[in-house]
Amino acid sequence: MTLEARKIRLVMELRQQGITDQAVLSAIERIPRDVFIPAAFHDQAYENTALPIGQGQTISQPSVVGYMTQALEVGPRMKVLEIGTGCGYQAAVLSKLCRRVYSIERYRELLRDAEERFRTLRIGNVTTRWGDGMKGWPEQAPFDRIILTAAATEVPPELFQQLGADGILIAPIGRTSHDQVLVRYRRKGDEWETENLWPVRFVPLLDGTVNDVKTRSKTTIELNRQDS
């Protein structure tokens, strides 16, 4: 089966699993997932499964990307903040649905690879930063939507502060990988509506930044020890 046929099969599977927003399905169909994963896994690019991308991180399974994107309720004039660029796949899907994506990644090596993919695919409305996702991107706030692609025990207050009026923030919340739930927060003035959506399993959200493996300093090694 060709990659194109596998892509079509995947989109049909996602529709059957409850992803009904045609704009979201179209964005997933237009973004070549095989570009965002290591060559060794290209034969699994259009399977509904998570795959390793290096640095102990993964690309989420397409159904999770679809569900989260659909639940985010993105519009074409919106500005979206993503915490955790990873390989860049989620940001690429969002780029087809909103005006601009701002994406933060703590692993510089992953970020460089993601930026190269954006250039290859001529995705020009994604702006990236190497930094601590827990601090958000205050210079560009407020955001219409915020999405976390790593799990937290609670959403950092700085991110809530950067969400605009009537904004939506989506995050995996849980103390361990076995009790995570995807939570949607809606801002209503100074109040928040909270809705638990479905169980998920994400890598943990960590503070700070990590340098390239080849140039890690003693300070970075100590940071990694604290994170483990």
User: Can you give the residue ranges of every domain in the chain?
Assistant: 63-227
Q: Tokens for 35, please give them.
A: 């570009």
- Beta bridge partner(s), residue 183: 171, 196
Helical (H) or strand (E) element with 187:
strand 181-188
Conformational region of residue 74, where left means phi above 0, alpha means psi within -120 to 50, and beta covers everything else: beta
Beta strands in 42-177 (DSSP E): 51-54, 57-59, 79-83, 100-105, 126-130, 143-148, 163-173
Best CA proximity match to 84, nearest among 64, 123, 63, 110: 110
Which residue out of 26, 60, 63, 103 is catalytically annotated? Answer: 60
Task: Let me know how long the chain is.
Answer: 228
Q: What is the pTM of this model?
A: 0.88
Active site residue 60: yes
> What pLDDT score does 1 carry?
77
Q: Tell me the angle at which helices 22-30 and 62-72 cross, rounded to the nearest 10 degrees.
A: 140
Q: Which residues of 130-160 are buried (b: 16+ CB within 10 A; e: fewer)?
A: bbbbbebbeeebebbbbbbbbbbeebbeebe
> What pLDDT score does 84 carry?
95
Determine the straight-line distance between the first and last CA of the chain, rounded to whole angstroms: 41
> What pLDDT score does 211 carry?
63
> What pLDDT score does 108 carry?
95
Specify the CATH number for 63-227; select among 3.40.50.150, 3.40.50.1100, 3.40.50.1110, 3.30.470.20: 3.40.50.150
Per-residue pLDDT of the chain (228 residues), as tens digits, is 787 888 899 999 999 999 999 999 999 999 999 999 999 999 999 999 999 998 888 999 999 999 999 999 999 999 999 999 999 999 999 999 999 999 999 999 999 999 999 999 999 999 999 999 999 999 999 999 999 998 899 999 999 999 999 999 999 999 877 889 999 999 988 888 999 998 888 887 887 777 644 433 322 222 232 332
